[in-house]
């Protein structure tokens, strides 16, 4: 037994017969001079058929040529090839994969007389890897396509918002109008659930609407598209804020309250008469608007009683909404906003909050709307350590400059 253990030929025979990986020796012309049992089982050939032949006799041209070039490079440079993945294409079109290491074969004097190598079958692993790469690419393409669709939706959604404002009287420019309008919009994603609009209702009246659809992203944005379309249909009740919201609720409820869909919206609608300064407003579960009083140089909640807020839209059937009236004085402003403005949180979970929003508004009373809106947004962002809003924010308002004659 000891003699056998010291017999190189005995050890080589055991290696060649029992190693599950393919082992092969080749001469300087890349012809096989010895192969192991696993190699024969891999190729389906016996040693006598393999020895004296090359890869060109076993595989398709592409793989055989690559193997030949690699082996000739090893013979010429003495540099081994370690752990290389090789794609083997068989004459019948079958494809297998191996991980191959090839070394220079040297005689007793150190001269290179060929090559030898070991190849391990990694076909299952490689096919799984290729399948994963294929599906990853498919997912990437789908994601890219969806992102492009969302980008288009975002551009379309921008057209929902006011691009100009009505003037009172209609014969003057916006700069000369008795009423100044302005809005601000910041989406936390590419699309959002916030929507606002300003419409002329008569020679003296305007309607200002703001809503916030529950949630984020595409689903919420689809809700705003529905509401935008519904606003167009509510002209007959546009001068009555309570009736306006009641009718909108009736139209939205069957569309948003499906078995597998839970979607609702808060909203606030105001009608302002530039000839009298009378503001009429109804609220559907929306944050309380702010009233900036010019004479007192302060800001207060526009609605004294929060209980006058009705239920959010698309929650219950036959919801009713109370219309309240406020008399504005020249120089006064009114601002509506979505809850993303005050729901900004610090890392400890504390919100910016409505009370802090009111305090901030009082400090900036007197700012024109186009400066007020970004200022309030900036202060809310400053409250959060990361300086970012985590929800959509939309603000819209009016300033009553002077009584319309």
* pLDDT tens per residue, range 304-337: 787 788 999 999 988 999 999 999 999 999 999 9
* Of residues 191 and 206, more confidently modeled: 206
What is the per-residue pLDDT for 186? 87
pLDDT number for residue 278: 97
- List pLDDT tens digits, range 88-109: 888 888 888 889 999 999 998 9
Render pLDDT for 332-364 as a digit per residue (tens, 0 to 9): 999 999 999 999 888 888 899 999 999 999 999
So what's the pLDDT on residue 400?
97
pLDDT at 176: 93
Q: How far apart (Å, rounded) are the C-alpha atoms in residues 56 and 79?
A: 23
**pTM, whole model, 2 decimals?**
0.69
- In DSSP terms, which residues pair with 248 in a beta bridge? none
pLDDT in tens, 269-301: 999 999 999 999 999 999 999 999 999 999 999
CA dihedral over 328, 330, 331, 333, signed as positive or negative: positive
- What pLDDT does residue 189 have? 75
Strand partners, 399: 180, 333
Average pLDDT value for residue range 6-16: 75
Nearest CA among 107, 97, 101, 84 for reference residue 33: 107
Mean pLDDT of the chain: 89
Mean pLDDT of 196-217: 92
Measured distance between the N- and C-terminal CA atoms of the chain, rounded to whole angstroms: 121
In 10 A of CB 299, how many CB atoms? 23
Q: Map tokens 């546009």 to a residue.
A: 238
d(CA 340, CA 184): 12
The span from the CA of 333 to the CA of 303, in Å, is 14
Q: In this predicted structure, what is the pLDDT of residue 127?
A: 87
Domain boundaries 156-400, corresponding CATH code = 3.60.40.10
Provide CB contacts within 8 A for 147, sequence distance 6+. 190
Once rounded to an integer, what is the mean pLDDT over residues 19-45? Answer: 90
- Over range 71-77, report the average pLDDT: 94
Please, which pLDDT band fits residue 259 given cuts at 50, 70 and 90? low
What are the phi and psi torsion angles at 79 (to 5°)? -85, 125
Domain 2-127 has CATH 3.40.47.10: no
Selection from 372, 355, 289, 298 nearest residue 332 by Cα = 298
Percentage of the chain beyond pLDDT 70 is 97
Instruction: Give the whole-angstrom CA distance, residue 402 versus residue 405.
Output: 9
Task: Write down the pLDDT at residue 258.
Answer: 67
What interhelical angle do 217-233 and 241-256 show, nearest 10? Answer: 130
**Distance from C-alpha of 57 to C-alpha of 230, rounded to nearest angstrom:** 75
Mean pLDDT confidence for 49-56: 89
pLDDT at residue 215 tops 80: no
Average pLDDT over residues 135-141: 83
Report the alpha-carbon distance of residue 330 to residue 278 in Å, rounded. Answer: 11
Q: Can you give the pLDDT at residue 59?
A: 85
**Residue 147 reports pLDDT greater than 80:** no
- For residue 5, pLDDT over 60 is answered with no
- Mean local confidence (pLDDT), 11-19: 80
* Lowest mean pLDDT across 108-117, 146-155, 157-166, 173-182: 146-155
Domain ranges of the chain: 2-127, 156-400
Number of residues that this document lists for the chain = 405
pLDDT of residue 70: 93
Whether omega before 241 lies within 30 degrees of 0, making that bond cis, reads no
């Amino acid at each position: 037994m000891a003699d056998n253990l010291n017999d190189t030929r005995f050890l080589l025979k055991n290696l060649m017969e029992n190693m599950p990986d393919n082992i092969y020796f080749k001469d300087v012309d890349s012809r096989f001079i010895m192969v192991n049992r696993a190699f024969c089982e891999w190729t389906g050939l016996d040693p006598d058929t393999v020895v004296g032949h090359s890869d060109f006799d076993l595989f398709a041209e592409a793989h055989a040529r690559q193997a030949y070039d690699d082996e000739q490079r090893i013979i010429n440079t003495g540099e081994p090839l370690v752990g290389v993945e090789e794609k083997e294409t068989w004459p019948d079109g079958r494809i297998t994969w191996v991980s191959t290491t090839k070394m220079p074969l040297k005689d007793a004097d150190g001269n290179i007389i060929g090559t030898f190598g070991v190849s391990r079958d990694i076909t299952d692993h490689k096919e799984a890897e290729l399948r994963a790469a294929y599906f990853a690419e498919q997912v990437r393409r789908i994601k890219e396509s969806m992102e492009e669709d969302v980008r288009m939706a975002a551009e379309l959604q921008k057209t929902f918002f006011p691009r100009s404002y009505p003037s009172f009287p209609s014969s003057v420019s916006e700069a000369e109008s008795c009423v100044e309008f302005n809005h601000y919009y910041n989406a936390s994603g590419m699309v959002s659930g916030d929507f606002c609009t300003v419409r002329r209702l008569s020679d003296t009246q305007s309607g200002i609407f703001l809503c916030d659809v529950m949630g984020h992203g595409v689903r919420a944005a689809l809700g705003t598209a529905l509401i935008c379309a519904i606003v167009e249909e509510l002209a007959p009740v546009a001068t009555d804020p309570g009736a306006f919201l009641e009718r909108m609720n009736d139209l939205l409820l069957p569309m948003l309250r499906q078995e597998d869909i839970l979607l609702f919206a808060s909203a606030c609608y105001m009608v302002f008469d530039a000839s009298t300064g009378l503001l009429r407003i109804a609220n559907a579960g929306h944050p309380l608007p702010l009233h900036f009083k010019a004479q007192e140089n302060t800001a207060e909640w526009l609605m004294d009683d929060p209980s006058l807020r009705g239920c959010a839209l698309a929650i219950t059937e036959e919801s009713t909404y109370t219309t309240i009236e406020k008399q504005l004085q020249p120089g006064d402003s009114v601002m509506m906003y979505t809850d993303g403005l005050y729901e900004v949180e610090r890392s400890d979970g504390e919100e910016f909050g409505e009370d802090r929003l009111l305090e901030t508004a009082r400090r900036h009373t007197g700012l024109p709307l186009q400066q007020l809106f970004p200022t309030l947004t900036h202060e809310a962002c400053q409250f959060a350590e990361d300086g970012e809003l985590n929800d959509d924010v939309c603000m819209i308002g009016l300033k009553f400059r002077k009584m319309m004659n």
